[in-house]
Homo-oligomer: A and B are copies of this chain.
Amino acid sequence: MRPPASIGQRLEDVDTPALVLDLDSFEKNLLTLKESVGDKVRVRPHAKTHKCPEIAQRQISAGAVGVCCQKVSEAEALVDGGVADVLITNEVVGAPKIARLATLSKRARIGVCVDDLGNLRAIEASGARLDVYIEIEVGMRRCGVAPGVAVLALAKEIVKFRKLRFAGLQAYQGRAQHVRTMRDRRLAIRKAAQAVRKTKSLLEKAGIDCHRVTGAGSGSYMLEVESGAWDEIQPGSYVFMDADYARNEWAAPLPRFEHALFVLSTVMSRPARDRAIVDAGLKASSVDSGMPGIWQRPDLEYTHASDEHGWVEGRKLPALGDKLLLVPGHCDPTVNLYDWYVCVRRGIVEALWPITARGAVT
Protein backbone atom coordinates (compact mmCIF):
# COMPACT_ATOMS: atom_id res chain seq x y z
CA MET A 1 0.00 0.00 0.00
CA ARG A 2 1.50 3.25 -1.16
CA PRO A 3 1.85 5.84 1.63
CA PRO A 4 -0.55 8.75 1.07
CA ALA A 5 1.98 11.50 1.89
CA SER A 6 5.68 11.96 2.59
CA ILE A 7 7.53 13.02 5.71
CA GLY A 8 8.23 16.74 5.75
CA GLN A 9 5.40 17.51 3.32
CA ARG A 10 3.15 20.45 4.11
CA LEU A 11 -0.38 19.43 5.07
CA GLU A 12 -1.86 21.60 2.31
CA ASP A 13 0.09 19.60 -0.28
CA VAL A 14 -1.20 16.19 0.84
CA ASP A 15 -3.54 14.55 -1.67
CA THR A 16 -7.13 14.20 -0.51
CA PRO A 17 -9.07 12.69 1.08
CA ALA A 18 -6.49 11.83 3.75
CA LEU A 19 -6.88 10.73 7.35
CA VAL A 20 -4.94 13.26 9.40
CA LEU A 21 -3.80 12.85 13.00
CA ASP A 22 -2.78 16.06 14.72
CA LEU A 23 0.07 14.91 16.96
CA ASP A 24 -0.04 17.80 19.43
CA SER A 25 -3.72 17.19 20.18
CA PHE A 26 -3.27 13.41 20.19
CA GLU A 27 -0.42 13.64 22.74
CA LYS A 28 -2.44 16.07 24.82
CA ASN A 29 -5.33 13.60 24.88
CA LEU A 30 -3.01 10.82 26.08
CA LEU A 31 -1.87 13.09 28.91
CA THR A 32 -5.37 14.31 29.76
CA LEU A 33 -6.57 10.73 30.22
CA LYS A 34 -3.57 9.84 32.36
CA GLU A 35 -4.02 12.88 34.59
CA SER A 36 -7.76 12.38 35.01
CA VAL A 37 -7.39 8.76 36.09
CA GLY A 38 -4.22 9.05 38.18
CA ASP A 39 -3.58 5.83 40.08
CA LYS A 40 -7.22 5.14 40.79
CA VAL A 41 -7.66 2.33 38.25
CA ARG A 42 -5.73 0.55 35.51
CA VAL A 43 -6.10 1.94 31.99
CA ARG A 44 -6.54 -0.44 29.04
CA PRO A 45 -7.54 1.71 26.06
CA HIS A 46 -9.68 0.28 23.30
CA ALA A 47 -7.73 -0.29 20.08
CA LYS A 48 -10.93 -0.95 18.06
CA THR A 49 -10.93 2.82 17.64
CA HIS A 50 -7.46 3.25 16.15
CA LYS A 51 -6.46 -0.26 14.90
CA CYS A 52 -2.82 0.80 15.00
CA PRO A 53 0.10 -0.68 17.00
CA GLU A 54 1.96 2.67 16.82
CA ILE A 55 -0.87 4.27 18.78
CA ALA A 56 -1.19 1.31 21.15
CA GLN A 57 2.53 1.58 21.98
CA ARG A 58 2.12 5.27 22.82
CA GLN A 59 -0.88 4.52 25.03
CA ILE A 60 1.21 1.93 26.88
CA SER A 61 4.08 4.43 27.24
CA ALA A 62 1.51 6.78 28.78
CA GLY A 63 0.73 4.22 31.47
CA ALA A 64 -1.75 1.78 29.93
CA VAL A 65 -1.37 -1.87 31.00
CA GLY A 66 -2.20 -3.10 27.49
CA VAL A 67 -5.07 -2.58 25.08
CA CYS A 68 -8.46 -4.01 24.20
CA CYS A 69 -9.89 -4.98 20.85
CA GLN A 70 -13.03 -6.65 19.54
CA LYS A 71 -11.81 -9.24 17.04
CA VAL A 72 -9.19 -11.99 16.99
CA SER A 73 -7.82 -10.53 13.74
CA GLU A 74 -7.37 -7.16 15.45
CA ALA A 75 -5.54 -8.85 18.31
CA GLU A 76 -3.28 -10.62 15.79
CA ALA A 77 -2.39 -7.29 14.15
CA LEU A 78 -1.65 -5.72 17.54
CA VAL A 79 0.54 -8.62 18.68
CA ASP A 80 2.31 -8.57 15.30
CA GLY A 81 2.95 -4.88 16.03
CA GLY A 82 4.62 -5.65 19.36
CA VAL A 83 1.76 -5.30 21.85
CA ALA A 84 2.21 -7.91 24.58
CA ASP A 85 -1.13 -7.73 26.42
CA VAL A 86 -4.46 -7.67 24.59
CA LEU A 87 -7.95 -8.22 25.93
CA ILE A 88 -10.61 -9.14 23.38
CA THR A 89 -13.66 -7.55 25.00
CA ASN A 90 -15.93 -9.79 23.02
CA GLU A 91 -17.09 -13.37 22.62
CA VAL A 92 -15.09 -15.49 20.17
CA VAL A 93 -17.37 -18.05 18.53
CA GLY A 94 -16.74 -20.66 15.84
CA ALA A 95 -13.96 -23.17 15.18
CA PRO A 96 -11.69 -21.07 12.88
CA LYS A 97 -11.63 -18.12 15.27
CA ILE A 98 -11.07 -20.24 18.37
CA ALA A 99 -8.15 -22.03 16.68
CA ARG A 100 -6.54 -18.67 15.89
CA LEU A 101 -7.19 -17.48 19.43
CA ALA A 102 -5.38 -20.54 20.79
CA THR A 103 -2.38 -19.90 18.52
CA LEU A 104 -2.28 -16.25 19.51
CA SER A 105 -2.46 -17.11 23.21
CA LYS A 106 0.99 -18.66 22.91
CA ARG A 107 2.51 -15.41 21.65
CA ALA A 108 1.16 -12.82 24.11
CA ARG A 109 -1.04 -12.36 27.16
CA ILE A 110 -4.53 -12.60 25.73
CA GLY A 111 -7.88 -12.16 27.42
CA VAL A 112 -11.30 -13.06 26.09
CA CYS A 113 -14.92 -12.72 27.17
CA VAL A 114 -17.51 -15.44 27.46
CA ASP A 115 -21.25 -15.48 28.05
CA ASP A 116 -22.03 -19.11 27.22
CA LEU A 117 -20.98 -22.46 28.65
CA GLY A 118 -20.76 -24.28 25.30
CA ASN A 119 -18.51 -21.55 23.94
CA LEU A 120 -16.36 -21.70 27.08
CA ARG A 121 -15.92 -25.45 26.61
CA ALA A 122 -14.96 -25.02 22.95
CA ILE A 123 -12.33 -22.47 23.96
CA GLU A 124 -10.97 -24.76 26.65
CA ALA A 125 -10.81 -27.71 24.24
CA SER A 126 -8.62 -25.65 21.90
CA GLY A 127 -5.75 -25.67 24.38
CA ALA A 128 -5.67 -21.86 24.57
CA ARG A 129 -4.04 -20.23 27.64
CA LEU A 130 -6.24 -17.28 28.40
CA ASP A 131 -7.54 -14.80 30.90
CA VAL A 132 -11.28 -15.36 30.75
CA TYR A 133 -13.72 -12.63 31.70
CA ILE A 134 -17.43 -13.14 32.01
CA GLU A 135 -19.24 -10.41 30.17
CA ILE A 136 -22.16 -9.16 32.19
CA GLU A 137 -25.09 -7.24 30.74
CA VAL A 138 -25.22 -3.83 32.43
CA GLY A 139 -27.71 -1.94 30.28
CA MET A 140 -26.46 -2.09 26.69
CA ARG A 141 -28.68 -5.08 25.90
CA ARG A 142 -26.08 -6.58 23.57
CA CYS A 143 -24.05 -9.64 24.62
CA GLY A 144 -23.38 -10.78 28.16
CA VAL A 145 -24.82 -12.83 31.01
CA ALA A 146 -27.49 -11.27 33.22
CA PRO A 147 -25.92 -10.04 36.49
CA GLY A 148 -26.30 -12.40 39.42
CA VAL A 149 -26.57 -16.16 39.73
CA ALA A 150 -26.02 -16.96 36.04
CA VAL A 151 -22.58 -15.36 36.31
CA LEU A 152 -21.77 -17.44 39.38
CA ALA A 153 -22.75 -20.65 37.55
CA LEU A 154 -20.46 -19.82 34.61
CA ALA A 155 -17.59 -18.74 36.88
CA LYS A 156 -17.77 -22.10 38.68
CA GLU A 157 -17.16 -23.79 35.34
CA ILE A 158 -14.25 -21.53 34.37
CA VAL A 159 -12.32 -22.19 37.57
CA LYS A 160 -12.39 -25.92 36.81
CA PHE A 161 -10.17 -25.46 33.76
CA ARG A 162 -6.41 -25.44 34.25
CA LYS A 163 -5.37 -23.47 31.18
CA LEU A 164 -8.04 -20.83 31.63
CA ARG A 165 -7.77 -18.25 34.37
CA PHE A 166 -10.96 -16.64 35.64
CA ALA A 167 -9.90 -13.00 35.43
CA GLY A 168 -13.09 -11.22 36.39
CA LEU A 169 -15.94 -9.33 34.79
CA GLN A 170 -16.31 -7.35 31.59
CA ALA A 171 -18.98 -4.71 32.28
CA TYR A 172 -19.45 -2.09 29.55
CA GLN A 173 -22.46 0.21 29.43
CA GLY A 174 -22.14 1.14 25.75
CA ARG A 175 -25.47 2.91 25.51
CA ALA A 176 -24.46 5.37 28.21
CA GLN A 177 -21.54 6.72 26.18
CA HIS A 178 -23.57 9.01 23.94
CA VAL A 179 -26.31 9.89 26.41
CA ARG A 180 -26.05 13.65 26.11
CA THR A 181 -26.45 14.98 29.65
CA MET A 182 -24.05 14.20 32.49
CA ARG A 183 -27.03 13.60 34.74
CA ASP A 184 -28.48 10.81 32.60
CA ARG A 185 -25.07 9.25 32.00
CA ARG A 186 -24.46 9.24 35.74
CA LEU A 187 -27.78 7.46 36.31
CA ALA A 188 -26.92 4.81 33.72
CA ILE A 189 -23.49 4.15 35.22
CA ARG A 190 -24.93 4.08 38.75
CA LYS A 191 -27.30 1.29 37.68
CA ALA A 192 -24.45 -0.58 35.97
CA ALA A 193 -22.32 -0.24 39.12
CA GLN A 194 -25.08 -1.78 41.23
CA ALA A 195 -25.19 -4.78 38.90
CA VAL A 196 -21.41 -5.13 39.10
CA ARG A 197 -21.31 -4.94 42.91
CA LYS A 198 -24.12 -7.42 43.35
CA THR A 199 -22.43 -9.92 41.02
CA LYS A 200 -19.01 -9.45 42.52
CA SER A 201 -20.23 -10.04 46.06
CA LEU A 202 -22.08 -13.17 44.92
CA LEU A 203 -18.83 -14.52 43.47
CA GLU A 204 -16.85 -13.65 46.57
CA LYS A 205 -19.39 -15.24 48.88
CA ALA A 206 -18.97 -18.42 46.83
CA GLY A 207 -15.21 -18.21 47.33
CA ILE A 208 -14.43 -17.24 43.74
CA ASP A 209 -11.92 -14.44 43.47
CA CYS A 210 -13.12 -11.81 41.00
CA HIS A 211 -9.71 -10.26 40.31
CA ARG A 212 -10.85 -7.51 38.09
CA VAL A 213 -13.83 -5.60 36.77
CA THR A 214 -13.06 -3.98 33.42
CA GLY A 215 -15.18 -1.76 31.17
CA ALA A 216 -16.14 1.89 30.53
CA GLY A 217 -15.77 4.17 27.50
CA SER A 218 -14.64 7.69 26.71
CA GLY A 219 -18.06 9.20 27.39
CA SER A 220 -18.34 7.91 30.95
CA TYR A 221 -15.09 6.45 32.31
CA MET A 222 -14.64 8.86 35.25
CA LEU A 223 -18.11 7.92 36.43
CA GLU A 224 -17.03 4.28 36.56
CA VAL A 225 -13.85 5.34 38.36
CA GLU A 226 -15.79 7.36 40.93
CA SER A 227 -18.22 4.50 41.54
CA GLY A 228 -15.37 2.36 42.83
CA ALA A 229 -16.84 -0.73 41.17
CA TRP A 230 -14.34 -0.95 38.30
CA ASP A 231 -10.63 -1.77 38.49
CA GLU A 232 -9.82 -1.07 34.87
CA ILE A 233 -11.20 1.25 32.20
CA GLN A 234 -11.32 0.88 28.39
CA PRO A 235 -11.78 4.29 26.75
CA GLY A 236 -11.08 4.33 23.00
CA SER A 237 -12.36 7.47 21.30
CA TYR A 238 -10.63 9.87 23.72
CA VAL A 239 -7.47 9.78 21.58
CA PHE A 240 -9.38 11.29 18.62
CA MET A 241 -12.65 12.91 19.83
CA ASP A 242 -15.20 12.76 17.03
CA ALA A 243 -18.10 15.09 16.18
CA ASP A 244 -20.66 12.83 17.84
CA TYR A 245 -18.80 12.66 21.17
CA ALA A 246 -18.40 16.45 20.98
CA ARG A 247 -22.21 16.73 21.13
CA ASN A 248 -22.12 15.23 24.66
CA GLU A 249 -22.17 17.44 27.72
CA TRP A 250 -18.61 17.30 29.11
CA ALA A 251 -18.22 18.28 32.75
CA ALA A 252 -16.30 17.20 35.82
CA PRO A 253 -15.25 14.55 36.61
CA LEU A 254 -14.79 13.98 32.84
CA PRO A 255 -12.07 16.08 31.23
CA ARG A 256 -12.45 17.61 27.80
CA PHE A 257 -10.50 16.00 24.97
CA GLU A 258 -9.39 17.74 21.79
CA HIS A 259 -10.27 16.87 18.21
CA ALA A 260 -7.14 15.14 16.94
CA LEU A 261 -8.52 13.20 13.96
CA PHE A 262 -9.52 14.85 10.69
CA VAL A 263 -10.29 14.03 7.10
CA LEU A 264 -8.53 16.46 4.78
CA SER A 265 -10.74 17.18 1.77
CA THR A 266 -10.66 19.37 -1.32
CA VAL A 267 -13.44 21.45 -2.83
CA MET A 268 -13.78 19.66 -6.17
CA SER A 269 -16.75 21.54 -7.62
CA ARG A 270 -18.42 24.91 -7.15
CA PRO A 271 -21.31 24.28 -9.49
CA ALA A 272 -23.67 26.90 -8.06
CA ARG A 273 -23.90 29.65 -5.47
CA ASP A 274 -25.64 27.47 -2.91
CA ARG A 275 -23.05 24.73 -2.49
CA ALA A 276 -19.46 23.59 -2.58
CA ILE A 277 -18.82 19.90 -3.24
CA VAL A 278 -15.89 18.24 -1.47
CA ASP A 279 -14.15 15.03 -2.52
CA ALA A 280 -14.86 13.25 0.79
CA GLY A 281 -18.16 11.39 0.96
CA LEU A 282 -19.30 8.46 3.04
CA LYS A 283 -16.41 6.24 1.83
CA ALA A 284 -14.06 8.82 3.38
CA SER A 285 -15.90 9.71 6.62
CA SER A 286 -18.48 7.40 8.19
CA VAL A 287 -21.95 8.92 8.51
CA ASP A 288 -23.56 6.37 10.86
CA SER A 289 -23.45 8.91 13.71
CA GLY A 290 -24.14 12.00 11.64
CA MET A 291 -22.33 14.17 9.13
CA PRO A 292 -18.78 15.36 9.76
CA GLY A 293 -18.17 18.79 11.21
CA ILE A 294 -16.00 21.37 9.44
CA TRP A 295 -12.99 22.36 11.50
CA GLN A 296 -12.73 26.02 12.49
CA ARG A 297 -15.44 27.02 10.04
CA PRO A 298 -18.60 27.38 12.15
CA ASP A 299 -20.14 29.30 9.25
CA LEU A 300 -20.07 26.17 7.06
CA GLU A 301 -22.09 23.00 7.30
CA TYR A 302 -21.49 19.60 5.71
CA THR A 303 -25.14 18.83 5.01
CA HIS A 304 -25.19 15.61 3.00
CA ALA A 305 -22.92 12.81 1.81
CA SER A 306 -23.03 10.48 -1.16
CA ASP A 307 -20.43 7.75 -1.65
CA GLU A 308 -17.63 10.00 -2.93
CA HIS A 309 -19.01 13.52 -2.46
CA GLY A 310 -19.94 15.86 0.35
CA TRP A 311 -22.24 18.88 0.15
CA VAL A 312 -21.01 21.99 1.97
CA GLU A 313 -23.38 24.89 2.54
CA GLY A 314 -22.98 28.23 4.24
CA ARG A 315 -22.58 31.93 3.74
CA LYS A 316 -18.97 32.30 2.56
CA LEU A 317 -18.35 29.14 0.60
CA PRO A 318 -14.77 28.02 -0.08
CA ALA A 319 -13.37 28.25 -3.62
CA LEU A 320 -12.61 25.40 -6.00
CA GLY A 321 -9.42 23.68 -4.85
CA ASP A 322 -9.63 24.95 -1.27
CA LYS A 323 -8.94 22.41 1.46
CA LEU A 324 -11.22 21.74 4.41
CA LEU A 325 -10.51 19.65 7.48
CA LEU A 326 -13.52 17.55 8.41
CA VAL A 327 -14.13 16.22 11.93
CA PRO A 328 -15.54 12.70 11.42
CA GLY A 329 -18.98 12.01 12.85
CA HIS A 330 -17.78 8.67 14.23
CA CYS A 331 -14.06 7.99 14.51
CA ASP A 332 -13.96 4.16 14.66
CA PRO A 333 -15.60 3.30 11.31
CA THR A 334 -13.89 6.29 9.66
CA VAL A 335 -10.43 5.00 10.65
CA ASN A 336 -11.45 1.60 9.26
CA LEU A 337 -11.67 3.17 5.77
CA TYR A 338 -7.96 4.09 5.64
CA ASP A 339 -4.61 2.32 5.52
CA TRP A 340 -2.55 5.14 7.03
CA TYR A 341 -2.60 7.99 9.49
CA VAL A 342 -0.94 11.08 8.09
CA CYS A 343 0.55 12.38 11.35
CA VAL A 344 0.97 16.14 11.32
CA ARG A 345 2.52 18.62 13.71
CA ARG A 346 2.00 22.33 13.14
CA GLY A 347 1.15 21.79 9.49
CA ILE A 348 4.03 19.46 8.57
CA VAL A 349 3.81 15.69 8.05
CA GLU A 350 5.95 14.15 10.81
CA ALA A 351 5.09 10.46 10.49
CA LEU A 352 2.98 7.92 8.61
CA TRP A 353 1.49 5.17 10.76
CA PRO A 354 -0.03 2.12 9.08
CA ILE A 355 -3.48 1.07 10.27
CA THR A 356 -2.58 -2.59 10.29
CA ALA A 357 -5.89 -3.80 11.77
CA ARG A 358 -7.91 -1.92 9.15
CA GLY A 359 -10.54 -4.31 7.81
CA ALA A 360 -9.82 -6.87 10.53
CA VAL A 361 -13.39 -8.13 10.83
CA THR A 362 -12.91 -11.78 11.73
Residue with the highest number of chain B CB atoms closer than 10 Å, among A270, A333, A337, A361? A361
Among the listed B48, B145, B275, B288, which residue makes an inter-chain contact with A288, where contact means beta carbons less than 8 Å apart? B288
**Which residues in chain A, 118-151, are within 8 Å of chain B measured between CB atoms?**
118-119, 137, 141-146
Nearest opposing residue in chain B for A279, CB measure: B93
Q: Contacts A16-B94, A306-B142, A332-B307 known; A283 to B320 CB distance under 8 Å? A: no
Q: Does A90 contact B (CB under 8 A)?
A: yes
Q: Does A252 contact B (CB under 8 A)?
A: no
Nearest opposing residue in chain B for A174, CB measure: B306
Task: Give Cα A118 to B97, complex, Å.
Answer: 54
> Which chain B residues border A92 with CB–CB below 8 Å?
268
Among the listed B97, B143, B337, B359, which residue makes an inter-chain contact with A277, where contact means beta carbons less than 8 Å apart? B143
Q: Does A267 contact B (CB under 8 A)?
A: yes
**Which residues in chain A, 269-322, are within 8 Å of chain B measured between CB atoms?**
269-272, 275, 277, 279-280, 282-284, 286-288, 305-309, 311, 320-321
Q: Is there an interface contact between B143 and A309, defined as CB atoms closer than 8 Å?
A: yes
Task: Output the least CB separation between A7 and chain B (Å).
Answer: 16
**1/0 contact trace for A329-362 toward B, CB 8 Å?**
0001100111100000000000000000011011
Q: Is there an interface contact between B333 and A90, defined as CB atoms closer than 8 Å?
A: no
> Which chain B residues border A71 with CB–CB below 8 Å?
308
Q: Does A17 contact B (CB under 8 A)?
A: yes
Q: Is the interface of A mostly helix, strand, loop or mixed?
A: loop
Q: Does A24 contact B (CB under 8 A)?
A: no
Q: Does A115 contact B (CB under 8 A)?
A: yes
**Which residues in chain A, 46-97, are within 8 Å of chain B measured between CB atoms?**
48, 70-71, 90-94, 96-97
Q: Does A255 contact B (CB under 8 A)?
A: no
Nearest opposing residue in chain B for A70, CB measure: B308
Q: Does A226 contact B (CB under 8 A)?
A: no
Q: Does A15 contact B (CB under 8 A)?
A: yes
Task: Output the least CB separation between A178 and chain B (Å).
Answer: 11
Task: Give Cα A221 to B317, complex, Å.
Answer: 34
**1/0 contact trace for A246-274 toward B, CB 8 Å?**
00000000000000000000111111100
Q: Contacts A93-B267, A271-B115, A320-B116 known; A277 to B142 CB distance under 8 Å? A: yes
Q: Is there an interface contact between A307 and B48, defined as CB atoms closer than 8 Å?
A: yes
Task: Give Cα A266 to B93, complex, Å.
Answer: 8
Q: Which 8 A-B pairs have the closest CB atoms?
A: A143-B269, A15-B96, A93-B268, A70-B308, A15-B362, A17-B361, A91-B268, A284-B361
20 contacts between A and B (CB under 8 A): A13-B96, A15-B96, A15-B362, A16-B362, A91-B268, A142-B269, A142-B271, A142-B311, A143-B268, A143-B309, A146-B271, A146-B272, A283-B332, A283-B361, A288-B288, A288-B305, A307-B333, A337-B361, A339-B359, A358-B359
Can you add 18 more A-B contacts, CB < 8 Å, to A145-B271, A283-B336? A4-B362, A15-B97, A90-B268, A91-B268, A93-B268, A93-B269, A93-B320, A94-B266, A116-B320, A119-B320, A137-B272, A142-B271, A142-B306, A143-B271, A143-B277, A174-B306, A282-B288, A337-B359
